[in-house]
Amino acid sequence: MRPVPRTLELFYDVLSPYSWLGFEVLCRYQNIWNINLQLRPSFIGGIMKDSGNKAPALVPRKGQYMANDLKLLRQHIQVPIQFPKDFFSVILEKGSLSAMRFLTAVNLEHPEMLENVSRELWMRIWSRAAEKAGMSAEQAQGLLEKSSTSKVKNQLKETTEAACRYGAFGLPITVAHVDGQTHMIFGSDRMELLAYLLGEKWMGPVPPAMNARL
Amino acid sequence: MRPVPRTLELFYDVLSPYSWLGFEVLCRYQNIWNINLQLRPSFIGGIMKDSGNKAPALVPRKGQYMANDLKLLRQHIQVPIQFPKDFFSVILEKGSLSAMRFLTAVNLEHPEMLENVSRELWMRIWSRVSAGLWKSSGRALDDFLTFPRHVFKVMILPSPGGSTVSQSHPSPMFSSFQDEDITQPQSILAAAEKAGMSAEQAQGLLEKSSTSKVKNQLKETTEAACRYGAFGLPITVAHVDGQTHMIFGSDRMELLAYLLGEKWMGPVPPAMNARL
């Protein structure tokens, strides 16, 4: 009998480029490693406020570094991520509350669509290669309406608070439940460490598909 | 004819735990990859000031995260790093200016000793294990981290009047430090001697540390890091095919391998791959 899959919770926000990178790597490994990947749409604004942290781009050199870093990681991790021209107005001023409420609604009503819709939202902000997520206009409209209900607002609030209780000061965080222990790992650049904790093999950010478990 | 080795500049400060991790990984790969690793002692306080950034531990959850992160990385990267008990007073208040000036002097006069002396200084702040024993024994890190408690207790008793190394203990295997203060001259000298320097050499370098030549050199190196865009340390600057890449942190080594066209074999590469 195969061992029980380990639960990995990925807390993310589509405002966060590194959330996208972590998301794609974990999505690739969910059919390779013995894991149960649970996506947790969260609100990074709430986490920043609660932890007393600030967005990295507010330190000019960090913003500059991020732009270069994402250029390199695009090639290395093979994700079509690009720093948007109007980063500050799109990202920092408009924020992600509606998008994350929308994803929360998707997770409540159509969890099987959460991965695709999340990816589509990232594509819209962080890429020029946006595709359709496969949702009908009616479905999307219905979910948009549900997004402003207290049920969805509260769910997003609870998920964000859960991330804070795990010690988040930003996103993404991956929470790995392994052999009765809980490890919170920040960022998209600790996946090799995560593999080590899971006792799994790290095959780089773009693992060969033929290793995929059928 | 073998291709020209690529130059990697590692800007670091012994105050920075992640600098130590990046340093050890790159030291392992310097005999595996076709690289020329150049160590650049820098002053993290100057970089923070110049970039407008703040030490991560000032955000409480970041400090907490760092403590846990270092515990995991200790095993994964096999470096005997431990969060010192008095982190805030040793690290944040006293700072690393004297230590980094000393390393700058070492780099000017005895660059071949820079790696060892840097390691000893990290050991004094961030470890309870002697560097010499750790590196020369070739034993697994676990052997050093899981020693019997009664031996550990005897070894780390501080002597009256300050923390010094306990010399009298039953185990022949270890000498340990109690989160040593790197700002005191005696402490810096002790680290230098542990690294293989004579007392005279070490004393001479300590004196040189307060000359304008050394102060200016540290300032220049720190400014160079700032020009590369540093907002913290460590930074690794890779010169590859006419391009310059600045990489922050100790967790982008796989990306660095990708940029160099080299093979990443994890943070603890097999020694048999070492180029002779």
What CATH number is given to the structural domain containing B244?
3.40.30.10
Query: Distance (Å) from the C-alpha of residue B4 to the closest C-alpha of chain A?
Result: 23
Is B167 part of any domain?
A: no
Q: Which letter does DSSP use for residue A15 in this model? A: T
Output the domain CATH number for residue A38.
3.40.30.10
Half-sphere CA count of A145, side-chain side, radius 13 A: 5
User: Within a domain: residue A209?
Assistant: no
Global pTM reads: 0.87
Average pLDDT over residues A143-156: 94
Cβ contacts of A61 on chain B, cutoff 8 Å? 51-53, 229-231
Mean pLDDT score across all residues of chain B: 83
A196 touches chain B (CB under 8 A): yes
Question: pLDDT tier at B125 (50, 70, 90 boundaries)?
Answer: confident
With respect to residue A205, please indicate whether it lies within any of the assigned structural domains. no
What ipTM does this complex have?
0.91
CA separation for the pair B119, B123 (Å, rounded): 6
- Residue B270 within a domain: no
Task: Note whether A61 contacts B76, CB cutoff 8 Å.
Answer: no
Is the peptide bond between A172 and the residue preceding it cis, with omega within 30 degrees of 0? Answer: yes
Instruction: State yes or no: pLDDT of B228 exceeds 80.
Output: yes
Kindly state whether residue A24 falls inside one of the protein's structural domains. yes
For B:231-260, CB contacts with A below 8 A are 231, 245-246, 248-249, 251-252, 254-255, 258-259
Would B53 be classed as within a structural domain?
A: yes
Q: Do A183 and B72 touch (CB under 8 A)?
A: yes
Outline where DSSP puts E strands in chain B: 6-12, 35-41, 235-240, 243-248
B254 part of a folded domain = yes
- What distance lies between CA A143 and its chain's CA centroid? 20
Q: Which domain holds residue A25?
A: 6-198
Calpha distance B135→B24 (Å, rounded)? 11
> Does some domain include residue A212?
no
Q: Is B181 inside any structural domain?
A: yes
Contact B231 A65 (CB under 8 A): yes
* Coil, helix or strand at residue A206: coil
Asked, as a colleague might, if the bond just before B234 is cis with ω within 30 of 0, I would say yes
How confident is the model at residue B161, as a pLDDT? 38
Domain with B33, as residue range(s), is 6-133+175-260
A183 touches chain B (CB under 8 A): yes
How many other C-beta atoms lie within 10 A of the C-beta of residue B178? 20
For B52, other C-beta atoms within 10 Å of its C-beta total 12
Q: How many domains does chain A fold into? A: 1
> Which has the minimum average pLDDT: A18-27, A66-75, B154-163, B208-217?
B154-163
Q: Could you tell me if residue A206 is inside a domain?
A: no
Structure tokens at A135: 């949702």
* Domain assignment present for A176: yes
Contact (Cβ atoms closer than 8 angstroms) between residue B93 and residue B183: no
- Name the domain count of chain B: 1
Q: Is B110's pLDDT higher than 80?
A: yes
In a domain, A207, yes or no: no
User: Active-site positions of A?
Assistant: 16
Cβ neighbour number for residue B18 with a 10 Å cutoff? 21
pLDDT at A209: 76
Alpha-carbon distance of B261 to B276, in angstroms, equals 20
Give domain status of residue A85, yes or no.
yes
